Amino acid sequence: MLEAKDNRELAGELQDAEEGMHVSTGRAAFEASKKARVLKGGGVAPAADADDRFGRAMQVNSTFKQVAGKTFILVNGVWYDSIYKDNMETAKVTFLSDAYFELVIRFPELARYLSAGERVVVCLDGKVYEIVS
Protein backbone atom coordinates (compact mmCIF):
# COMPACT_ATOMS: atom_id res chain seq x y z
CA MET A 1 0.00 0.00 0.00
CA LEU A 2 1.20 3.52 -0.72
CA GLU A 3 2.12 5.93 2.04
CA ALA A 4 -0.47 8.49 3.18
CA LYS A 5 1.46 11.32 1.53
CA ASP A 6 1.29 9.44 -1.80
CA ASN A 7 -2.46 8.99 -1.34
CA ARG A 8 -2.96 12.72 -0.89
CA GLU A 9 -0.95 13.40 -4.05
CA LEU A 10 -3.08 10.90 -5.93
CA ALA A 11 -6.22 12.56 -4.60
CA GLY A 12 -5.13 15.68 -6.45
CA GLU A 13 -4.73 13.59 -9.56
CA LEU A 14 -8.22 12.19 -9.04
CA GLN A 15 -9.55 15.75 -8.82
CA ASP A 16 -7.77 16.54 -12.12
CA ALA A 17 -9.44 13.50 -13.68
CA GLU A 18 -12.82 14.57 -12.34
CA GLU A 19 -12.36 18.00 -13.91
CA GLY A 20 -11.82 16.19 -17.23
CA MET A 21 -15.33 14.79 -16.85
CA HIS A 22 -16.74 18.28 -17.41
CA VAL A 23 -15.35 18.48 -20.95
CA SER A 24 -18.16 18.00 -23.46
CA THR A 25 -16.27 17.32 -26.70
CA GLY A 26 -13.09 15.79 -28.05
CA ARG A 27 -10.82 12.97 -26.94
CA ALA A 28 -10.80 14.03 -23.27
CA ALA A 29 -14.60 13.83 -23.16
CA PHE A 30 -14.56 10.42 -24.84
CA GLU A 31 -11.97 9.00 -22.42
CA ALA A 32 -13.76 10.43 -19.37
CA SER A 33 -17.06 8.98 -20.56
CA LYS A 34 -15.51 5.56 -21.14
CA LYS A 35 -13.99 5.50 -17.64
CA ALA A 36 -17.23 6.70 -16.04
CA ARG A 37 -19.17 3.88 -17.74
CA VAL A 38 -16.70 1.31 -16.41
CA LEU A 39 -16.97 2.67 -12.86
CA LYS A 40 -20.75 3.04 -13.01
CA GLY A 41 -21.04 -0.61 -13.97
CA GLY A 42 -18.93 -1.66 -11.01
CA GLY A 43 -16.08 -2.72 -13.24
CA VAL A 44 -12.41 -2.03 -12.89
CA ALA A 45 -10.92 0.95 -14.66
CA PRO A 46 -8.84 0.07 -17.70
CA ALA A 47 -5.11 -0.43 -17.20
CA ALA A 48 -3.37 2.89 -16.95
CA ASP A 49 -0.29 4.05 -18.74
CA ALA A 50 2.15 6.38 -16.99
CA ASP A 51 0.29 9.50 -18.13
CA ASP A 52 -3.20 8.30 -17.23
CA ARG A 53 -3.84 10.08 -13.92
CA PHE A 54 -7.37 8.76 -13.55
CA GLY A 55 -6.34 5.13 -13.97
CA ARG A 56 -3.39 5.55 -11.63
CA ALA A 57 -5.54 7.15 -8.96
CA MET A 58 -8.13 4.38 -9.19
CA GLN A 59 -5.46 1.73 -8.59
CA VAL A 60 -4.72 3.12 -5.12
CA ASN A 61 -5.94 0.94 -2.27
CA SER A 62 -7.71 3.85 -0.57
CA THR A 63 -11.13 5.41 -0.47
CA PHE A 64 -11.88 8.91 -1.69
CA LYS A 65 -14.89 11.04 -0.81
CA GLN A 66 -16.09 14.40 -2.12
CA VAL A 67 -17.78 16.68 0.42
CA ALA A 68 -18.86 20.21 -0.53
CA GLY A 69 -16.07 20.61 -3.08
CA LYS A 70 -13.30 19.09 -0.96
CA THR A 71 -11.71 15.70 -1.52
CA PHE A 72 -11.07 13.49 1.50
CA ILE A 73 -8.84 10.41 1.55
CA LEU A 74 -9.36 7.59 4.05
CA VAL A 75 -6.03 6.57 5.62
CA ASN A 76 -5.97 4.25 8.64
CA GLY A 77 -9.53 5.11 9.61
CA VAL A 78 -9.09 8.90 9.33
CA TRP A 79 -10.56 11.06 6.55
CA TYR A 80 -7.84 13.53 5.50
CA ASP A 81 -8.50 16.72 3.56
CA SER A 82 -6.50 16.31 0.34
CA ILE A 83 -4.69 19.63 0.92
CA TYR A 84 -3.40 18.54 4.34
CA LYS A 85 0.39 18.15 4.63
CA ASP A 86 2.17 16.12 7.33
CA ASN A 87 3.97 19.15 8.79
CA MET A 88 0.78 21.18 9.42
CA GLU A 89 -0.10 21.91 13.03
CA THR A 90 -3.56 20.65 13.98
CA ALA A 91 -6.08 21.66 16.62
CA LYS A 92 -7.47 18.43 18.09
CA VAL A 93 -11.14 18.32 18.98
CA THR A 94 -13.00 15.31 20.39
CA PHE A 95 -15.91 14.08 18.27
CA LEU A 96 -19.31 15.25 19.65
CA SER A 97 -17.71 17.08 22.60
CA ASP A 98 -18.78 20.55 23.72
CA ALA A 99 -15.73 21.94 21.88
CA TYR A 100 -16.84 20.11 18.72
CA PHE A 101 -20.26 21.77 18.77
CA GLU A 102 -18.76 25.16 19.65
CA LEU A 103 -16.50 24.81 16.60
CA VAL A 104 -19.47 24.03 14.34
CA ILE A 105 -21.42 26.99 15.72
CA ARG A 106 -18.41 29.27 15.25
CA PHE A 107 -17.68 28.00 11.71
CA PRO A 108 -20.94 26.69 10.18
CA GLU A 109 -19.20 25.91 6.88
CA LEU A 110 -17.03 23.39 8.76
CA ALA A 111 -20.08 21.23 9.55
CA ARG A 112 -20.29 20.12 5.91
CA TYR A 113 -16.73 18.81 5.97
CA LEU A 114 -17.10 17.14 9.36
CA SER A 115 -19.87 15.04 7.86
CA ALA A 116 -17.09 13.03 6.15
CA GLY A 117 -16.82 10.85 9.25
CA GLU A 118 -16.11 10.54 12.95
CA ARG A 119 -12.35 10.98 12.53
CA VAL A 120 -11.56 13.85 10.14
CA VAL A 121 -8.66 16.18 9.43
CA VAL A 122 -9.92 19.26 7.60
CA CYS A 123 -8.22 22.49 6.50
CA LEU A 124 -10.27 25.68 6.71
CA ASP A 125 -9.07 29.27 6.32
CA GLY A 126 -5.43 28.38 7.01
CA LYS A 127 -6.19 26.26 10.09
CA VAL A 128 -6.30 22.49 10.45
CA TYR A 129 -8.85 20.79 12.67
CA GLU A 130 -8.39 17.15 13.65
CA ILE A 131 -11.50 15.45 14.96
CA VAL A 132 -10.55 12.53 17.23
CA SER A 133 -12.68 9.87 18.90
DSSP string, the chain: ---HHHHHHHHHHHHHHHHHTT--SHHHHHHHHHHHHHHHTT-PPPPP-TT-HHHHHHTSSSEEEEETTEEEEEETTEEEETT--TT---EEEETTSHHHHHHHHH-HHHHHHHTT-SSEEEEETTEEEEEE-
For the stretch 47-80, pLDDT in tens is 444 455 544 554 454 588 888 888 999 988 899 9
User: What is the chain's pLDDT, residue by residue, as a tens digit (133 residues)?
Assistant: 345 555 566 555 555 555 555 555 556 555 655 555 554 444 444 444 445 554 455 445 458 888 888 899 998 889 999 999 888 999 999 999 999 999 999 999 899 999 888 999 999 988 999 999 8
**pTM summary value:** 0.54
- Among residues 52, 68, 69, 67, the alpha carbon closest in space to that of 13 is found at 52
